[in-house]
């Protein structure tokens, strides 16, 4: 039996995510991604006066139909009138969208992932000056036989507060093209799975679900990064 592992993030967290920019080598149609978007983003815990952090995702991404690879550039911005203070960005994948790597960031262990997610990375952003931004290249795969979502919370470095959260927001298409070299996906669109019977899969549109969260915070140390997670983990069993 594996011991019960409970980790949470302080503050209320909603389900709504954002768009990222695609720049992964070897993926199809990395161009024509459209402008960055904050769709699905919402301010969370109250930030210090003058601090306003947000995130951006691309309005379009493209999935290579043979490799399932895609790329997403996740951007965090300081739109306030003061420095942000020491912050970090989380990049979390759900359902058919799996985050394989985020350059310069630390992967979360399986036991530390939010409930319902399949992958997650913690990026130490540091102190963003007024008007500045920082972008992260996200390598991902997308199973077109499923729906898929991504989530970008921005937190204090200790994880005690979440200033902003974009997602989980879906990428998808209502017109899949399995015979084409690549399938374009739009931010904020429910995916119509290519696989037979896919229409019966649950919807993942904005507002269709609320990300589970707990009431207390617990420290997480992963490869030298200290973090707080927002999800109360269900106990797992092993033979």
* % of the chain at pLDDT higher than 90: 60
Pick the CATH number of 36-228 from 2.60.40.10, 3.30.70.270, 3.40.50.970, 1.10.287.110: 2.60.40.10
How many other CB atoms sit within 10 Å of the CB of residue 211? 24
Q: What is the mean pLDDT of residues 142-162?
A: 95
pTM of this structure: 0.71
- Is residue 17 over pLDDT 70? no
Q: Per residue in 173-204, pLDDT tens?
A: 998 888 899 999 999 999 998 755 444 344 44
At 34 the pLDDT is: 59
Residue 42's DSSP bridge partners are 165
- Is residue 3 over pLDDT 80? no
- Is residue 158 over pLDDT 60? yes
Q: Per residue in 68-80, pLDDT tens?
A: 999 999 999 999 9
The ranges assigned to domains in the chain are 36-228
Lowest mean pLDDT among 130-139, 202-211, 219-228: 219-228
Closest CA to 15 of 234, 208, 229: 208
At 204 the pLDDT is: 43
- Contact between 5 and 234 under an 8 Å Cβ cutoff? The reply is no
Is cis: bond before 125, omega within 30 of 0?
no
At 234 the pLDDT is: 45
* % of the chain at pLDDT higher than 70: 67
The whole-angstrom separation of Cα 126 and Cα 47 is: 16
Three-class secondary structure assignment of 61-82 = EEEECCCCEEEEEEEEEECCCC
Distance of CA 55 to the CA centre of its chain: 10
The whole-angstrom separation of Cα 63 and Cα 87 is: 31
Q: What is the mean pLDDT of residues 99-127?
A: 94
């Amino acid at each position: 039996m594996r011991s019960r592992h409970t980790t949470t993030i302080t503050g209320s967290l909603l389900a709504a995510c954002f768009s990222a920019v695609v720049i992964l080598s070897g993926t199809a149609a990395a161009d024509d991604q459209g402008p960055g978007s904050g769709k699905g983003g919402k301010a969370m815990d109250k930030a210090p006066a003058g601090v306003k952090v947000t995130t951006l995702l691309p309005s379009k991404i493209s999935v290579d139909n043979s490799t399932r690879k895609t790329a997403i550039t996740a951007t965090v911005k300081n739109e306030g009138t003061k420095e942000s203070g020491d912050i970090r960005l989380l990049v979390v994948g759900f359902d058919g969208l799996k985050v394989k790597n985020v350059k310069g960031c630390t992967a979360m262990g399986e036991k530390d992932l939010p409930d319902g997610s399949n992958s997650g990375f913690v990026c130490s952003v540091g102190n963003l000056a007024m008007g500045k931004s920082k972008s992260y290249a996200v390598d991902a795969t997308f199973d077109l036989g499923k729906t898929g979502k991504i989530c970008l919370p921005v937190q204090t470095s200790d994880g005690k507060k979440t200033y902003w959260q974009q997602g989980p927001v879906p990428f998808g298409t209502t017109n899949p093209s399995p015979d084409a070299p690549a399938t374009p996906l739009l931010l904020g669109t429910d995916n119509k799975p290519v696989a037979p019977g896919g229409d019966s899969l649950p919807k993942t549109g904005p507002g269709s679900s609320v990300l589970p969260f707990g009431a207390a915070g617990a420290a997480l140390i992963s490869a030298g990064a200290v973090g707080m997670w927002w999800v109360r983990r269900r106990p797992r069993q092993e033979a």
